Amino acid sequence: MMHWQAICRLDEIPLRGSRVVKREGEVDIAVFRCADDRVFALADRCPHKGGPLSQGIVSGHKVSCPLHGMQLGLEEGRALEPDEGCVGRFPVRVVDGRVELDTTPIAP
């Protein structure tokens, strides 16, 4: 059972940027919009030392952490080689120009 919540309009997220969905007592979620308008949602905490991935640089379907530059694939939520690590992923979709998120993590 999915629990979709409308977050914002797609055009409210900058291209190659993100929007943070704050959560009480849980890790925030970063919703990324890629140049091709695909959206991905990851926990906003780098697996290396907790950097805010929402402030990273998006290129293609990956994001570089702003702290030490680790690259993570947005689709898989995994660090790209040679780094290792993974980050929680969340279901996100675009319906009629609105971004909808389910805050239940996708099983790794």
List contacts with ligand FES (CB under 6 A): 46, 48-51, 65, 67-70
| Pick 50 or 60: Cβ nearer ligand FES | 50
Q: Are 48 and 68 in contact (CB under 8 A)?
A: yes
For ligand FES, give the closer residue by CB, 3 or 68. 68
| Closest CB to ligand FES among residues 10, 67 | 67
SS3 content of the chain, % helix, strand, coil (to 5): 5, 40, 55
Smallest separation (angstroms) from ligand FES to the CB of 82: 13
Helix ranges, 46-95 (H): none
The CA distance from 54 to 18, in Å, is: 6
- Nearest approach, Cβ of 103 to ligand FES (angstroms)? 22
